A and B are shown apart, each in its own frame.
Chain A
Amino acid sequence: MSHLLRKNNIGWFFIIISVVAIGLFYFYPMVQALLLSFQSGMGANLQFVGLENYVRLLNDPTFIAALSNTVIYLLVQVPLMIVLALLFSVLLNDATLKFKGFFRTAIFLPCVTSLVAYSVIFKYLFGVDGLVNYFLVKFGLLSEAINWLADPLWAKVIIIMAITWRWTGYNMIFYLSALQNVDRSIYEAAKIDGASSFQQFFMITVPLLKPIILFTSITSTIGTLQIFDEVMNITNGGPGNATLSISQYIYFLSFKYTPDFGYAATVSYVIVVLIVILSIIQFRVAGDRK
């Protein structure tokens, strides 16, 4: 017993608990879902259909619409948010800035609000009779109220605005904490060498923050690929399928239509595959190959 209690063994014991828990709650469902993706049928009447679901994916216009919407969100929103977060963090890191605490809180605050609550507020802000239309018309910027959420392009823009508002502050905090670990003397040295603020930003700040940028872009990519609450609550996927996201389509397949859990599992595996591929690309582009 005495050697069982040696440091190493206790460590092993704790690891086993989490390994079993992860295996049970992560990997077992993943394998089950993979098996499920080869089955199809209504509700509980599932049958193995081989690769039929995967073939169906390629010919499913709704899925293709959902996929392309999600990719658009990803391509527009993630870079936009990363750049904004970087910008804010650099500005807020300025030693001469006053009311720093206030600004930091203000920018971080959106990401502690409830996803559903803020989505509903966005929906009402941009309604036909909403506040945004009211002010735009009042100040003569628009002659007639725009039905933002009924227009395929505007609806997408509003979803992107909403997620950017919600998550920029979250990413900013990572950059800010990283920046605070950067030695001031590096910037002082650069200044003496005559580097402009732009040069300092691109030559010093960005390279030093590279690992954090990689981390935030991967987590943001994963988050955006799984986007659900905002779309569900602001536009419910409409108009047409103009804002439908993959997660929402999975929800519809499982709960709105006659349930086909097999096909829904197939669609969810698409997200898994996408996340894996995109993460590998990001690692290759930005990460150190060690």
Chain B
Amino acid sequence: MTFEYAPAPESRAVVDIAPSYGLFIDGEFADAAGGKVFKTVSPANEEVLSEVAQASAEDVDRAVKAARKAFEKWSALPGAERAKYLFRIARLIQERSRELAVLESLDNGKPIRESRDSDLPLVAAHFFYYAGWADKLGHAGYGADPKPLGVAGQVIPWNFPLLMLAWKIAPALACGNTVVLKPAETTPLSALFFADICRQAGLPKGVVNILTGDGSTGAELVAHPDVNKVAFTGSTEVGKAIARTVAGTDKKLTLELGGKAANIVFDDAPIDQAVEGIVNGIFFNQGHVCCAGSRLLVQESVQDELLEALKRRMSTLRVGDPLDKNTDIGAINSAEQLARIKELADAGESEGAERWAPACELPDAGYWFAPTLFTGVTQAHRIAQEEIFGPVLSVLTFRTPEEAVAKANNTPYGLSAGVWTEKGSRILWMANKLRAGIVWSNTFNKFDPASPFGGYKESGFGREGGRHGLEAYLDV
């Protein structure tokens, strides 16, 4: 690599981060009952961005009570009025999208190009989409007058902090529920900024409550006896623990968990487009994507040609400052996540797969991992079975469509899959056979509020997005 790019950093001046934030309960910011706080850092340079409150059981109880109290009026509002609040929120997100995109890249480490062009437009779109449902619920196929569930306890991950917030809050409010949301420990800031948007929108107090904290806060929220609905996005391991917690209760549960998606390339696929799709599938958002195409299944006859093109393309990826508009791959979200990626990549090597990464200079401070490719991977390897949640691609091969299906389906997960071929009948056959909630054919990692998202098997249950996403928040 000899190209030199002039730096093109996005201005940080558009976002004003306070030195500390409290919990957002009943429309007010307040300190945690125990007075505990923790710091949130920028993973790109380990700079402390702010200090946020660590919510305890007492705070969870307070937030749930506020949500319960607000539920009475909020659920009784005509749908058209709830819709208008959601439309207001959507508009405010659009107005403040540059500020939020910069904030998200600072706190999460993702490239500004992605937070600006992908996350924020989708966040606004989700609120617009579900705003329109609020006064049309009788047409959603869940009866003439479907009822909300009550208080929703929502726990979201750090990979798309604001987008996951939108996925959870927009349908919940549209259906007439009130929410207590806990953002991830390492990325709490955009949810707190969202609290300010709720204030600007004039949203009634208590309808949205934001509790920052770690896993213990999430566990308290999930277990709270007055929560009617639990929605979680995160690891399969935590998802199982949550399923055990709500066992035997009346709480409705939806889980969006891990994945190990197969991205399947047939010999007749357009190679250049497939390469772009593979890169987008695994290196988008540093591979911190539950539906990432982390297993490349390539037909043996085109393996050499495809891998050569893929390596060439990977060599052009720019890793570095998330606020630089030229950056393709930003920082790994935390030291813990980086350690996990390193451990699995090392396991790949020690189990006999061949590791390759383009020459690439990584910054000194912060958490970084170069885009990495493993060839000679077998189905038994840990890197072919376990979710790595980082920019690491495992390459396997196949000869027949049947073999591709068998290998693609050979994990406990079933979130997404990709198929690349010019043959229409084969695409439809493959789409039919793959046990996955989303099948991207000749494309990958596309999202839209109108399109249901969610997994088979251990990738969780329930769907978010689309008409299907309403079911999670209605008594049906």
A and B from one assembly? no
